[in-house]
């Protein structure tokens, strides 16, 4: 354990120069039984899958990584927080070949509130970006790699420059993919619809959780290609992700979604999600790891 100010790497670190880091994002929530990390096992497994895709080898097992994450949260005495495990090439050599570089891991935990602020309650406005989502013919989208997020940053910059809160990216084929850092769902005729893997989305842990929670309460969930115009005519739209949690989208490209306010199914799923995260739903208690 080191203090934040003492956690240093060289300015020429390979993963800073070339975006070759692999990371995860997790949240811990305050429950009546103490601090609990949401879906720790699933996040660590995805981290290891990302490393395998990029041929990055670490000496730690999934159990060791999970134990370290718990210890970091405990050491910081945080009742709720955002957790960032990051795997990187610990080398300051100039060049694209990192094969002989040491691979290091750090884990940080920081206080963290609502990613979109009041938007979590009132909803946010989005712009469909002119930039397309990267696809697996360009970069492995299944891996949560640092370099992938340059695509997200430029789309988000464009949206905010146009006075929107967030971007929505389309796939190379023109179908709805995801937000700049969130998966997307829409509600139509009482059904929950979300883009499938063919849109080159990151297969989010929160996305998977929402699908399971929705099916548990009897909602029909469709995973399929989604046309852009389906967003405009949807009854409800929302983002989901570790940082975003469940955030309603109430306007896209200046068009109100539904009545321009968070819809009832979005609110219901927000409630169900929070019940699980805060340890109030025994059926999904296995999703929590207590610190």
Considering the domain boundaries, does residue 284 fall inside one?
no
Q: Of 47, 38, 37, 125, nearest to 74 (Cα)?
A: 37
pLDDT score, position 110: 96
Is residue 286 in a domain? no
Closest CA to 287 of 109, 24, 22, 31: 31
- Same domain, yes or no, for 100 and 167? no
d(CA 207, CA 203): 7
167 lies in the same domain as 137: yes
In a domain, 291, yes or no: no
pLDDT the model gives residue 38? 98
Any idea what the CATH number is for the domain that residue 94 is in? 3.30.470.10
Q: Out of 120, 127, 144, 272, which one is annotated catalytic?
A: 144
Q: Give residue 269's domain range.
A: 119-277
Mean predicted lDDT score pLDDT of the chain: 97
Name beta bridge partners: 240: 183, 246
pLDDT at residue 155 greater than cutoff 90: yes
Sequence-separated (6 or more) residues with CB below 8 Å from residue 39: 26, 205, 209, 287
pTM: 0.95
Using alpha carbons, select from 241, 1, 247, 210 the residue that is nearest to residue 118.
247
Same domain, 97 and 218: no
Is residue 84 domain-shared with residue 155, that is, in the same domain?
Answer: no
| Residue 120 known to be catalytic | no
How far, in Å, CA of 26 to CA of 110, rounded?
Answer: 11
Output the pLDDT for position 90.
Answer: 92
Instruction: Specify if 244 maps to a domain.
Output: yes
Q: Indicate the number of domains in the chain.
A: 2
Pick the closest to residue 20 from 144, 202, 152, 134 (CA basis).
144
- The pLDDT value recorded for residue 280 is 97
User: How much is the pLDDT for 99?
Assistant: 81
- CA 239/CA 54 separation, integer angstroms: 28
CATH number at residue 268: 3.20.10.10
Q: For the packed helices 62-75 and 40-53, what is the interaxial angle rounded to 10 degrees? A: 130
pLDDT in tens, 61-106: 999 999 999 999 999 999 999 999 999 999 998 999 988 889 999 9
């Amino acid at each position: 354990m080191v203090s934040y100010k003492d956690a240093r790497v060289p300015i020429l670190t390979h993963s800073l120069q070339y975006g070759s880091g692999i990371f995860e994002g997790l949240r811990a929530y305050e429950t009546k039984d103490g601090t609990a990390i949401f879906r720790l096992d699933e996040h660590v497994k995805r981290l290891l899958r990302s490393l395998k895709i990029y041929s990055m080898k670490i000496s730690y097992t999934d159990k060791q990584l999970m134990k370290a994450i718990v210890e970091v949260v405990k050491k910081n005495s945080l009742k709720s927080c955002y957790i960032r495990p990051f795997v990187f090439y610990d080398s300051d050599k100039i060049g694209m070949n990192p094969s002989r570089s040491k691979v290091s891991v750090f884990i940080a935990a920081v206080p963290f509130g609502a990613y979109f602020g009041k938007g979590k309650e009132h909803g946010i406005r989005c712009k469909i970006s002119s930039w397309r989502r990267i696809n697996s013919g360009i970069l492995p989208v299944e891996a949560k790699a640092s370099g992938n997020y340059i695509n997200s940053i430029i789309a988000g910059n464009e949206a905010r420059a146009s006075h929107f809160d967030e971007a929505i990216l389309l796939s190379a084929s023109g179908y709805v993919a995801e937000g700049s850092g969130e998966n997307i769902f829409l509600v139509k005729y009482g059904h929950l619809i979300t883009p499938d893997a063919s849109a080159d989305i990151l297969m989010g842990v929160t996305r998977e959780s929402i699908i399971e929670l929705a099916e548990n309460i009897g909602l029909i969930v469709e995973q399929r290609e989604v046309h852009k115009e389906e967003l405009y005519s949807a009854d409800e739209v929302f983002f989901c992700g570790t940082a975003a949690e469940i955030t309603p989208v109430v306007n896209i490209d200046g068009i109100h979604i539904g009545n321009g306010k968070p819809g009832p199914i979005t609110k219901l799923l927000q409630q169900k999600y929070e019940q699980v995260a805060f340890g109030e739903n025994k059926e999904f208690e296995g999703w929590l790891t207590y610190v």
